[in-house]
Amino acid sequence: MTSSPATDPRSVAGKTLELSGGCDLLVVGAGPAGIAAARAAVETGAGVTLVDENPVPFDEMGEHVPQLWGGRMGAEIRNRTAMMERMLEVRPDLADLFDLGVDLRLGTACWGLFVNRANLGWMPGPVAGLRDAGGSSLVGFGAAVIATGRRDMGLAFPGWDLPGVIGAGAAQMLAGLNGALETRRAVVLGTTTEALLAARDLAAAGVDIAAIVEQAGAPQADAALVAEVEGQGIPVLFGEAPRGVTGDADGVTGLQLKGRAIACDSVLLGMGAVPMIDLLQAGGARTVFDAARGGFAPVLGPGGATSLPGVYAAGDCAGVWGAKSADPGIAAAEGAAAARAVLGQAAAAVAQPPEAPDLDGYRKGWVRAAVIEALEEMPVCLCEEVTARDILDVRPPRYLKAGAGRNAELSLSDILGDGPPDPDQIKRLTRAGMGPCQGRRCREQIQALLALREDLTLGAIPLAGYRSPVRPMTLAEIAPQREDPAIAEQWDSWFGMPRQWVPFWDVEPKYTVASLANRKDHVSE
């Protein structure tokens, strides 16, 4: 008699998901912070993998992943190889990392972080979900530095769904990183440092910046920077707000302000640069609203340590503020400090944000000036076509057609209860933020609308949760289809009536129930 195996080879026992490789340090995002972190770590001999989702696949850019691209991408963006070459060209320090032995993966998005916690005990260690043109894979890592950067706040006004309404940061990326911005004449909304820097750089690159528009009476950024862009011949208009756009099949042809109209082919949204915390928050890192750091940002310890063990944040995703946006050296120092912390070296001091600007009043001011004072209704959540009034009134989604009849008399807000309104609750009730753009274009506006309605600060409105995958993925990409052959061939051996009382070691190796399907004696009619 032969000895029986301890576990059934057809069972899933002991067969955790296959990891395709691993690294000591995973760096997500190849901006200044990510590059510095990768460099600092690889120079000590650590195995470093650096991933960056740029160049983003063209069809996903059309759905505003991960930035508000606004349909002003040039045709050359379809050529991914050229875009990768361009990235290495404009970021020579990225090319250097190749020579240092960093496993550099461009065009690779990180869609999920899974760090061992209560319900993830099965994993051999922390795991990241990566996705590139070839599909999805899981990669183990020892530590991670997340440097996913920032994202532009969206702002609704009539016609903001037209091609040509772009995030200011997105436009800067298209012009710099990709060299594929199809904008000739633009109006910039907002006077944040990030907006003015975008205006300055784009003007230097040959884009005609027709005006910078500010709803408030004074600029948000330093007077010196305002003077600098005014010195480039760009007028800055205060006390103005968008009322609508004119457009044709190709998108925006002009911007209508309260008091004047300006011909332009693009409107750049620069009223807010927000840390891109989706990956961290979906992975379980604690976040806090911090006006000094540009909105919801991860709770950080020494070296940029997040609340997830072994996961660090650096660069804009750890906090956006004017001085940092103006000087990439700050982000790079944060990246290097995070790498030092990962390697167990003494923590390096990094620049701290100055006293918080009036983020609350400024962002709410823009939403009030553009969305609430708009002369016609337009969607704030473009994907699901939810207007500001739908959100404030907490109206059921339109496809329910609940507006007609007696339902219209009864507002859901009647029975909403205590505490501040929660965007996750508003999302369920109105569908705002549930569309294919995964809420990137509307979440700050919804936050501001709810705060305005309740007369609360932005920070009093909870963060609408992010969920993995933080980038849309096809089912074919995420389904692994890598099974143990014993499972694949005999997966149903436990289901068969003739075999269910037979110990697994006595089941014939070639037995499968499906193979018996044509034998009538096994099928009871």
Partner 1 sequence: MTRFNAFNLLKNAMSGHKNWTEQWPDSQPKSEYDVVIVGAGGHGLGAAYYLAKEHGITNIAVIDKGWLGGGNTGRNTTIIRSNYLYDESQRLFDHSVDLWQGLSQELNYNVMYSNRGCLMLAHTVHDVQSFKRHVHANRLNGVDNRWLTPEECKEYCPPINIAKDARYPVMGGALQERAGTARHDAVAWGYARGAAARGVDIIQNCAVTAIRRNAGGSVAGVETEKGFIKAKKVAVSASGHNSMVMATAGVRLPLESMPLQALVSEPVKPIFPCVVMSNAVHAYCSQSDKGELVIGSGTDQYVSYSQRGGLPLIEHTIAAISEVFPIFNRMRMLRKWGGITDNTPDRSPIIGKTPVQNLYVNCGWGTGGFKATPGSAHVFAYTIAKDEPHPINAPFTLERFRTGRLIDEAAAAAVAH
Q: How far is the CB of 493 from partner 1 (least distance, A)?
A: 10
Q: How far is the CB of 412 from partner 1 (least distance, A)?
A: 6
Q: Does 244 bind partner 1 (CB under 8 A)?
A: no
Specify the residue, 212 or 383, whose C-beta has the smaller distance to partner 1: 383
Cα 133 to Cα 468: distance, rounded to the nearest angstrom: 19
- Tokens at 122, concatenated: 């099965």
Residue 514: other Cβ atoms inside 10 A? 12
| Residue numbers 500-519 binding partner 1 by CB under 8 A | 500, 513-514, 516-517
Q: In which residue are the tokens 């305002």 written?
A: 226
- Specify the stretch interacting with partner 1 by CB under 8 A; choose among 118-126, 164-172, 197-205, 303-311: 118-126
| Residue numbers 266-295 binding partner 1 by CB under 8 A | 284
The one among 92, 231, 419, 485 contacting partner 1 by CB under 8 A: 419
- Specify the stretch interacting with partner 1 by CB under 8 A; choose among 33-41, 244-252, 303-311, 367-375: 367-375
| Residue numbers 78-107 binding partner 1 by CB under 8 A | none
Specify the residue, 128 or 168, whose C-beta has the smaller distance to partner 1: 128
H or E segment and range at residue 423: helix 423-430
Environment class of 211 (CB within 10 Å of its CB; exposed 0-12, middle 13-18, buried 19+): buried
Specify the residue, 75 or 476, whose C-beta has the smaller distance to partner 1: 476
Q: Is 112 helix (H, G, I), strand (E, B) or coil?
A: strand
The one among 44, 253, 307, 407 contacting partner 1 by CB under 8 A: 407
- Those residues whose C-beta lies under 8 Å from the C-beta of residue 404, and which sit 6 or more positions away, are none
Q: How far is the CB of 59 from partner 1 (least distance, A)?
A: 10
H or E segment and range at residue 128: strand 127-132
The one among 2, 3, 81, 119 contacting partner 1 by CB under 8 A: 119
Phi, psi dihedrals of residue 253, rounded to the nearest 5°: -120, -10
Q: How far is the CB of 295 from partner 1 (least distance, A)?
A: 21
Specify the residue, 2 or 524, whose C-beta has the smaller distance to partner 1: 524
CA 41 to chain centre: 25
- Specify the stretch interacting with partner 1 by CB under 8 A; choose among 22-30, 69-77, 314-322, 394-402: 394-402
Q: Provide the β-strand partners of residue 298.
A: 287
Cα 280 to Cα 285: distance, rounded to the nearest angstrom: 5
Instruction: Dihedral sign for Cα 177, 316, 199, 249, please.
Output: positive
Q: Does 412 bind partner 1 (CB under 8 A)?
A: yes
The one among 1, 81, 133, 406 contacting partner 1 by CB under 8 A: 406
The one among 205, 389, 502, 505 contacting partner 1 by CB under 8 A: 389
The answer to whether residues 217 and 238 touch, using CB atoms and an 8 Å cutoff, is yes
Residue 342: other Cβ atoms inside 10 A? 27
Q: How far is the CB of 497 from partner 1 (least distance, A)?
A: 6
- Specify the stretch interacting with partner 1 by CB under 8 A; choose among 28-36, 114-122, 166-174, 313-321: 114-122
H or E segment and range at residue 271: none
| Amino acid sitting at position 5 | P
Applying CB under 8 A, the site for partner 1 has a residue count of 81
Q: Does 460 bind partner 1 (CB under 8 A)?
A: no
The one among 429, 457, 486, 511 contacting partner 1 by CB under 8 A: 429
Cα 364 to Cα 153: distance, rounded to the nearest angstrom: 12
The one among 76, 96, 377, 508 contacting partner 1 by CB under 8 A: 377
Phi, psi dihedrals of residue 251, rounded to the nearest 5°: 115, -150
Q: Does 447 bind partner 1 (CB under 8 A)?
A: no
Environment class of 256 (CB within 10 Å of its CB; exposed 0-12, middle 13-18, buried 19+): middle
- Those residues whose C-beta lies under 8 Å from the C-beta of residue 147, and which sit 6 or more positions away, are 27, 28, 29, 30, 31, 33, 34, 37, 313, 314, 315, 316, 317, 331, 335
The one among 122, 230, 232, 309 contacting partner 1 by CB under 8 A: 122
| Residue numbers 18-77 binding partner 1 by CB under 8 A | none
The one among 80, 105, 185, 453 contacting partner 1 by CB under 8 A: 453
Q: For partner 1, what does the binding mask look like between residues 463 and 492, x meaning CB under 8 A?
A: ----xxx--xxxxx-xxxx-x----x---x
